[in-house]
Each structure stands twice: as structure tokens, then as C-alpha cells.
Amino acid sequence: MIADVSSSPLSARRGLRFLLSTTLAVGLGLSLAGCKTSAERAEEYYQSGLQLLEEGDVDRAIVQFRNVFDIEGTHYEARKTLADTYRTRGDTREAYSQYLRLAEQYPDDLPTRVALARMAFDGQEAQEFERHTTRAVEIAPQDPEVQVLDLARRYRAAALAEDEKAREALSEEAARMAGTRPDDPMLMGILLDRAANAGDLAEADRLTARMLELQPDNPQRYLQRLALLAERGDKPAIEAHLRATIARFPDNGQAKADLVRFHLSEGQPDKAEAFLRELADAAPAGESGARADLVRFVEAQRGVDAARAELDRLIAEGADPLLFGTLRAGFDFRDGKRDEAIAAVRAVLDGVTEPSDTSRDVKIQLARMLAETGDEAGARQQVDEVLAQNAGHPGGLKMKAAWDIQADKVDDAVLGLRAVLDQAPQDAEAMGLMASAYDRAGEADLARDYLSQAAAASNNAVPETLRLAARLIAEERWRPAEDAILPALRRAPGNLDLLEALGQVYLSMPDLPRAQGVIARLREIGTPEAVAAAEQMDLNRLANEQGQDAALGYLEQQANAENASIGSKLSLIRAQLATGQTEAALRLAGELAASDPDNRAAGMALALSQAAAGDLPAARATLGGLVEDQPADPAPHLTLIRLATQQGDIDGALALAERGLAAIPDNPDLLWSKAGLMERKGDIDGAIAIYEQLYARDSSSMIVANNLASLLSTWKSDDPAAVARASTVARRLKDTEVPAFMDTYGWIQHLNGDSAAGLPYLEGAAEALASDPIVQLHLGVVQAAAGEADAAKAQLQKGLDMLPEGQKGRSVALAREALARLNAPAAETAGTGTAGTGMAGTGTAGTGGTAAPAPGQATN
């Protein structure tokens, strides 16, 4: 039974004291525990994390280390251990982030700087490697780790500078260091580079094998080993290595693609297909990527019918009918069955009851089909629906960005594309669009950078590589262009476009022996297109090496050969006309047209030769016959227009342009010719209307953009809306070196109140277009506006003196007024304007900023 302590006063008092003592003790203990310092509590979490780490419970250890920072954000040991933990488990992104936080909190901590430098080096982050190595050298230049980093930095600089002497000396230094640090990956990388340059495959084999052994989770080591095996030509080892790479990195799409390409290069499409079937069979039921890859492969190797059969099998086995039905429709679309394909996609979408990521992707595919068929309104409706459901949908954002770029809404396009790249940093299509946006904004360096990124992200795919190469070639950056093309050629060694681009680079460098190698490769391919490209390249090589006479002799030899093609004879005629050998060209063209009267190319050659010989009635008759035979062929129409223009018959040329447009409505070349003729006739509004029409159809054309902006700024300079429109259209002309474009851009800068910014452009334009009086007047007006009164007087007088007698026009009148103001400062003070603010235009007879080829010539 329970004792009744309340029966005794003494017991009661003792019981109370006991209760009070216990309560006091418990309360005191709680109070003391609650008064632990934040440092002590942080240390408890840190020690708990260490204990969990020792027990192998890494995830819970990470939680405890992070708890430390909730209390003490600058706890060095916890942050360092956490960073090391992430690095050990292969989470380089999070590890790097934690090391960076340490570097911010402890900028002089050497181990942190070394870790950051090495991780940046492994990740090929050159700027970060440079930054952290520089700081490490400042902290402890004699530290062995730091000396390795510094050596790698200097070696990289020597390699970039192509300083082979310094490179060799530094590799010797690396070899000495490796005596005491034989397994340092950074030193081994330098030694591997040296071995590769020396062709020492045995040493390269040893190094790549050891590096892979030391860092089995580093993808770069697998790529280095693969390169070595490829150099050795050890094909069984290549296949085994690629399979080992895939086993180690199951999500590595590049390794899978490399294995497929390897089998194809070995003439083993069946093995490639079997591998893709392995991947498709192993993929979970809800994942369609591997199955879609299989279908695309079957299409490429065995044709559309086989791919359709594969799709039917997959759908019958339960594959997603929405996705694979859309793939099937895509085949029909490419086969020309566009209406049927679009109907099929709409049908599969009709079965969707709940929108999903897949259904949104299919709607974007439908939008692309509609856009390609010209139904932009329908395409926009699909995109709007997708973005209403998911404002960040990459496909929808990319299509919208393309439309925004076309409409000169560059800022909107860039914002949308940044959202895409935030989700998918390696989206090559988004990078290409970003390049287009920055081109439109006049930011050439940024555009080039995104083109380079797009080529890399696409794994050197042909379209992205060709676009980058075209930019570099246009900038005469031959070596970077070569560097861009070669990796793509390794993936597609028979691609004619890549080979032609590479040949152009070698001819321009010039590197004639390597150009000869490209020519030989084209002849080896042997298709008619490849042979024609080889002959043209060989002709250019001969002209570079021995001069135009040798090239002409080569063409004559080709044209006079027993089995000479019509193409070789036409090439000779073009060369003869270009070099003034009119009689020879006329004779050969006449023979060619007589032997093959139905050949339109021969007829055009004859007409051009007749015109060059001065027999214009004969040329017109020949061209008239070509027009009558095929009214929808623009070439003879354009040549007739050009002949009339050359004779000064602007009215006749306009009539010919109208005749051509009646036969070929909306033909852009004929519209271009008509716009130029209307401008010369003084119908500026009509010319602007045509340029607006052309711009709406293709706003990417630099020449159309320039001419539209030039006319707007010339003739509508007192209309703020027109000047704003011209400014938007002309943004892409920033940093241009084309004289006509320089005049347009500089003049628009002046109209926008920044004459100082426009002045260098107009100076360049006036120097290059020294015979154009209107360009000279533009410069004079802007010099006056910029306060260069003496130079402006001389320049305006120079331009006015160059004008043909009696020439009038708004620009001429304004130039005279500007000069009068400069010669009578008092009158200017009493006036209402400042010199040059009202000056605009090129006049009816000047070219000014309008770049227009003669009617009949190519416009883009």
C-alpha cells in the first residue's frame, strides 16, 4: 500500500523539502543547458556530423553540417568538411559552391584556393582556374601544390600562344616534378599532352590508363583514354571502352552516340541497331527517349517505311500513342503529306483529356508544322496555348523568341531565351536564337560567342558548325574557323558543305597544300556535286598559286576536253566575260546555245555575252525568248531590267519590272529591283512600301534592313516615328565596316542626337565612297553638328562641288543651308535651328546609305 506521508507533520515537511530540492535541481539543469553558447551548439552539430560521417551515414552528416551554419555561418571546419564530402561523393557543383563560400570568408586560406583551382581545371573553367591559381601563388608561392598549379597555368598560356619552345621547357619541368608526385593528375595531363605531340603512344597509353585508374568517376579521363585508343586504331578496345564508359555513366548520351557512330564507321549498322534496341528494351515503360532514338535510327538506316513499321510495333506494345503518333506524322510531313500530317497530330491531341508535358511538346511540334506551311496565325495560337499552361515551356519560348527577333523585339527574345537556358544550359537551338537576337541588336561579339557555344552544345553538329564557320570566315578569322570545322568533319567526314568551307579557309589563309588535300577528298567522294566543288576549289587554288591566266587556261582545258560538261563550258564563259574576252565568250556561248537550244543556262550565257559585246537588240531578243518560254523564271526578267537601267531608261526598266511581277507575283528580286527604280524616280514612299514588304517577309536581310532604314532616315527625318523605326531596324549595323551601312548608321546616330557617335562611321563611309557627293554632304552636316566648323565648311563645299550640274533634292538644299549658316554665324544665331539638325537624305541621285545592286544581280 502507499504510505500516507501527510499523517506526520515532520514527514510532510521532509517530503516538501525533497520535492523542492528535486524541482530546483531539474530547473537548474534545464537552465544550464539552455545557456550553452552558440559556438558550443554549433560544435555539437559539427561533432555529430563527423560521427555520422565515420559511420557512413553521409546524408545525415550533411544535414548536421548544414545545421552548424544556421548557428554559425563562418564555422571553418564544418564548411571545409562539407565541401570535402561533396567533392568525395562526386557532387562537384555543390562542392565548388561550398569552397567558394570558404574563399569569401577566408580569402587567404591556401587549401581552399588549391581545391578551387584544381576543380576549375578539371571542369575546364579557364577564368576561374586563373583567378584561384593567381591568389594561391600570392599566398604561398613556394608551396609544392601551388607550384604545380602555377606550372599548369604557364603551360596553358604557352599552348594558347603556340609557343612550342616554352611548352617543351614547361613539360620538362612537369616531368621533374612528377618524380616526387607521380600520380598528380595535373602533371600527368601536361605529360600526356607532351606524349601526344611527340607521337609517343606507349607513354600516352600508360598515362591515360593510370589517370583512369586514379579518377574512375571523372568523365574527362574516359575521353582521354578514348582518344588514345582511336589514335592507336585499336577497334576492339574502342568498343569495349565505350561500353565501359556507358556502364560507369548510364546517363552519358555522348558515349552512347559515340558507340553508335563507331559501329556505323565500321560498317556494322546491325550492331548499332542492336545496341539501341538494348537501350529501348531496358528503358522504363514511361520513358520514351530511347525508343524514339531507335525509331530515328531505323529511319536513317532503313528508310521511312521501316521506321513507320517500328512505330506501329511500339504503339501496339503500349508506347505512348501521343508521342509516337506524332513521330509518325512527322515522317508524313517530311514526305510532303503536310495536310495529312497536321490532321494526324490534331487527331492525337484531340484524345488528350489532361494537358501534360508530352501534350505540350506535341502542340509545339504542331506549331512548327503550321509555321512551315505558312499558317503563322495557327502556329501562334498553339504556342500561346502552351505558354498559358506553362509560361516556361522551352519549345514555346523558343518559337516566340524567333518571332520576336523577326519583329525586332530583341529584348523580349533575350529574356525568353535566358529562361530556356536556365532550364537547359546546353540547348543548342536556344543558343543559336540568342546569337540571332544579339546580331539584330548589333552586339557582334556576343552573337559570335553564342554561335560558338551552340556548336559546342550540339557536339559539333553540321548546321551549328557551318553557321559559326560562316561568321568566322566573314571576319577573316581563318584559324578559329578551321578549329570550328575540323571536329564537325570528324563526325561527318563526307559532308560537302563542311569540306567546301574548310577548303575556302585553306585557300584564304593561304595554305595551298592542305587545300589540295580537301580537293583530293572531294574527288574521292566522287558524286557529281563533290566533283564540281573540287573543280571550283582547284580553280581557285590555281588562281591563288599561279594567277588568273593559269586559271583561265585550266578552264579552257576543261571546256575543250572530249567529254566536257556544259557546266565547265559555262564556267569558261563566265571567266572570259569577267576578264574582258568578250569575243571568245560570245563565240563559245553561240556554239553552246546552237548545240542545245533548249538549255536555258546556255541561253542566258549567250544573252550576257551579246550584251557584253554591245549587241543589245540581240541580247534583248534572246532574253525575250527565254521569258516567253518560261515566264516564271526571274533571271531573264532581271537581266532585261538591268540592261534598261544601264541605258538610263528608268521608265522602261520599271515597265519590265511590272511585267516580271505580273508573271511572278511577290518575287523578292523583282520587288528589290522595282524599289531601287522607284527610288531613282523619286517615288520614295513607293520604295519604302516595297522595302517594308520585303522586310516583313525576311527581316534578317542586312541589305533590306539598311535600305529601309536609310530611306526612312533620309526622307522622314522630321517624323519621330519614322526615325524610331529606322533606329530599331538599323541597330544591327553597329560596328559595321560596310561603307553604305556605315553611312546609314552614322546618320541615324546623328538624327538621334548623338552626332559624336555617328561621326566615325560617316568619316569611314566618306573615305570609302569618295565619289558619292551625298555621303560627303552627310559627313559635312554631322561635322557641323559636332562643332567641327572648319572641317564641316570644307567638307560641305567638297560635296556640293561634286554634284552634277542642276541637281536638286532635299539633301542638297539642306546642305547648302548648313554651309550658309556656317559662313554666317550671326545669321545662325538669329535663326531657329542648329546646323545639321534638319539635314537628312541622300537626294534622288545619290546612293547615300542605300546599298542596292544593279537590278538583275543577286540581292542576298
- CA-angle at 533, arms to 529 and 536, nearest 5°: 140
| Whole-number Cα distances in Å, 327 to 37, 365, 702 | 65, 10, 36
Q: Report pLDDT for 447.
A: 94
Helix %, strand %, coil % for the chain, to 5? 75, 0, 25
- How many other C-beta atoms lie within 10 A of the C-beta of residue 844? 18
Three cell numbers, residue 38: 552558440
d(CA 642, CA 639) in angstroms, rounded, equals 5
Three cell numbers, residue 287: 520513358
Task: Name the residue with cell 581563318.
Answer: 478
Three cell numbers, residue 568: 565547265
CA pseudo-torsion sign 147, 148, 149, 155: positive
Q: Report pLDDT for 371.
A: 95
Task: Name the residue with cell 563533290.
Answer: 530
Per-residue pLDDT of 116-159, as tens digits, reads 999 998 888 888 999 999 999 999 999 999 999 999 999 999 88
Residue 204: which residues within 8 A CB-CB, separation 6 or more?
A: 192, 195, 196, 228, 231
d(CA 444, CA 438) in angstroms, rounded, equals 7
Three cell numbers, residue 289: 527517349
Task: Name the residue with cell 591556401.
Answer: 110
d(CA 669, CA 641) in angstroms, rounded, equals 11
Q: Report pLDDT for 554.
A: 63
d(CA 276, CA 246) in angstroms, rounded, equals 13
Q: Are 274 and 259 in contact (CB under 8 A)?
A: no
For helices 338-350 and 321-334, angle between their N-to-C axes, nearest 10 degrees: 170
CA atoms in the 13 A half-sphere facing the CB of 691: 29
CA pseudo-torsion sign 687, 692, 698, 703: positive
Task: Name the residue with cell 502556329.
Answer: 379
Q: Torsions phi, psi of 547, nearest 5? A: 105, 170
In terms of Cα–Cα distance, which of 126, 198, 184 is closest to 157? 126
Q: Report pLDDT for 809.
A: 63
Question: What is the pTM for the complete model shown?
Answer: 0.71
d(CA 173, CA 369) in angstroms, rounded, equals 60
Q: Do you find a cis peptide bond into 510, omega within 30 degrees of 0?
A: yes
d(CA 290, CA 277) in angstroms, rounded, equals 8
Residue 248: which residues within 8 A CB-CB, separation 6 or more?
A: 216, 217, 222
**Alpha helix segments (H runs only) across 526-581:** 528-546, 548-560, 566-578
Point out the residues of the chain with pLDDT beneath 70: 1-36, 544-552, 554-565, 809-810, 825-860
Three cell numbers, residue 456: 559546342
At 644 the three-state DSSP class reads: helix
Q: Torsions phi, psi of 106, nearest 5? A: -130, 75
CA atoms in the 13 A half-sphere facing the CB of 218: 21
Q: Are 187 and 158 in contact (CB under 8 A)?
A: no
Q: 636-669 burial by CB neighbour count: b if 16+ within 10 A, else e?
A: bbbbbbbbbbeeeeeebbbebbebbbeebeebbb
At 527 the three-state DSSP class reads: coil
Three cell numbers, residue 614: 554591245
Mean pLDDT estimate for the chain: 86
Residue 549: which residues within 8 A CB-CB, separation 6 or more?
A: none
d(CA 428, CA 450) in angstroms, rounded, equals 9
**Alpha helix segments (H runs only) across 682-824:** 684-697, 702-715, 720-730, 739-751, 755-768, 773-785, 789-802, 810-823
CA atoms in the 13 A half-sphere facing the CB of 150: 16
In terms of Cα–Cα distance, which of 459, 460, 462, 410 is closest to 433? 410
d(CA 845, CA 775) in angstroms, rounded, equals 12
- CA-angle at 455, arms to 452 and 460, nearest 5°: 140
Three cell numbers, residue 269: 549498322
Task: Name the residue with cell 580537293.
Answer: 519
- Long-range CB contacts for residues 421-427, cutoff 8 Å, separation at least 24: 423/392, 423/394, 424/394, 426/457, 427/394, 427/398, 427/457
Length of the chain: 860
